[in-house]
Amino acid sequence: MELTKEQLADHIKGVVLPLIEDKVGAAVKSVVEGSMAKSMEASGKAFMAPFMESIASHQQPKELRPEEKGMRFGKFIRASMKAKMNQRGVVEILKDWKDEAMIADFESHAKALAASDATAGGFLVPPQYSQDIIEFLRAKSVVRQAGPIMIPMATGTFRIPKVTVGATASYIGENSAAPRTQQTFGNVTLTFKKLAALVPLSNDLLRYSSPGADAIVRDDVVRAMADAENRAFLRSDGTSGSPRGFLNWCLASQLINGNASASLANVTTDLGSLIVTLMNQNIPMTKPAWFWSPRTWNYLMTLQTTNGVFAFREEMMRGTFWGWPYYTSTAVPINLTTLSRNAESEVYLIDMADVALGESLNLTVDASQEAAYTEGGTLVSAFQNDQTVIRAISEHDLVMRRQESIAILQGVIYGK
């Protein structure tokens, strides 16, 4: 599309500059306005030609597009806090921020939000914002990254049928009756477990519209949830309302003791034993994944042969180890004493095709400016520190369709 100099000036004034003011700020708008005016006056149409096509098509610069996962969740939380949970107030805040799409989303779920306990500071996050934050959480939680089977649980429980004993076949002689064989069936049940993330935020973040503030709110909530999920999904014993983690789903016969010393030969033997353990159970290895600590990752990444060649680095730089993806998390401890070696860690090999993660896409969020919380053993007052304490609650559960799909190496001292 060809624009005259005057049309371009009108377009910048009417479309581009208000967008910059809304997303970046009035100060930046003034600088850009002055700079563009001088450029057009000095150089005219030829100088601006490369930009005409993108401006004329109303394309927003990439850095200003609020498309990143979880950003709408962050803005929803800030608008709700700023409006003190007042439904009409939230819409007014969004109108001030010129976010018509979120206004439409919010109003379409007004009935659900109005039914929540606003007087106590609580509200339900509409499903599309819940989905938005769950998508971003998947990139932060190592178990979610590994790709378990995701199952929505709208009613709180979900049963997954499984074959506990398979049918058998055998050779028979001529005119002999085939022996009767029958499968035995069972099931595993997903039941919601409640995860609460407590996040204190500065009220300054809630008072002003800024994509940076949306990202901070999102990141703080997701970081707290991801840390708790990783610890539970990997090692929780399933008590105190938590899901049962991989360590406690693993059969005792598939807990493998690692070598008492670290070397290339011992590493190869140890990790190979995990593979053989799963293969001996006829696990199809459809979607295997490794899980280990940063200390183990660092040891494997820097392990060298006698010739000074890095044994695994080239492949690990591509995100795989022996052909399968690996995931590194501080939720895998390095201070265990399972085999009385001190400072031990663990390595998990799991076929993720047998891991089922059930979840609800509706988050419940509570907020208070008067609450107190503990940090490092010290009681902190949100009111005194001009903070809002946000409590996000999600519900999910994790089960193994086949426990034989987990093998765990114990007593790992790599990098100790």
Q: Per-residue pLDDT tens for 360-390?
A: 877 888 888 888 999 888 999 999 998 888 8
* CB neighbour burial string for 315-333, b if at least 16 within 10 angstroms, e if fewer: ebeeeebeebbbbbbebbe
Q: 196: domain CATH number?
A: 3.90.1690
Residue 144 confidence (pLDDT) above 50: yes
What is the predicted pLDDT for the residue at 317?
97
- Looking at residue 57, its pLDDT comes to 42
Angstrom distance (rounded) from CA 172 to CA 136: 57
pLDDT 10s digits, 395-412? 999 999 999 999 999 999
Question: Are 52 and 87 within one domain?
Answer: no
- The confidence band for 117, taking pLDDT boundaries of 50, 70 and 90, is very low
- Is residue 353 assigned to a domain? yes
pLDDT on residue 58: 41
Q: Which of 146-155, 202-211, 365-374, 387-396 is predicted least confidently?
A: 202-211
60 pLDDT exceeds 50? Answer: no
* pLDDT exceeds cutoff 60 at 415: yes
pLDDT (0 to 100) of residue 101: 78
What residue numbers bound the domain in which 11 lies? Answer: 5-64
> Do both 368 and 353 map to the same domain?
yes
Same domain, 194 and 218: yes
DSSP run (H or E) holding 271: helix 264-280
pLDDT of residue 61: 46
What is the DSSP secondary structure assignment for residue 156, as one 8-state letter? S
Distances 75 to 110, 192, 205 between C-alpha atoms, Å: 17, 27, 10
User: Would the pLDDT of 18 be above 80?
Assistant: no
User: Domain boundary residue among 64, 91, 113?
Assistant: 64
- For the cut 60, the answer to whether the pLDDT of residue 65 exceeds it is no
Residue 69 clears pLDDT 50, i.e. is over it: yes
The answer, yes or no, to whether residue 53 has pLDDT greater than 60, is no
Count other Cβ atoms within 10 Å, centred on residue 88: 9
178 part of a folded domain: no
Distance in angstroms (rounded) separating the CA atoms of residues 346 and 255: 10
Structural domains counted in the chain: 2
pLDDT band at 59 (very low <50, low <70, confident <90, very high): very low
d(CA 229, CA 222): 10
CB 87 within 8 A of CB 113: yes
Same domain for 109 and 18, yes or no, is no
Q: What is the pLDDT of residues 172-190, one digit of tens each?
A: 777 777 777 665 656 788 8
Residues 73 and 59 in one domain: no
Same domain, 287 and 361: yes
Is there a domain that residue 402 lies in? Answer: yes
**For position 7, what pLDDT does the model report?**
66
- Burial pattern 173-186, b for ≥16 Cβ within 10 A else e, equals eeeeeeeeeeeeee
Spatial separation of the C-alpha atoms in residues 38 and 363, rounded to whole Å:
50
Please indicate whether residue 189 or residue 247 has the higher confidence score (pLDDT).
247
Q: Please check whether residues 58 and 109 belong to one and the same domain.
A: no
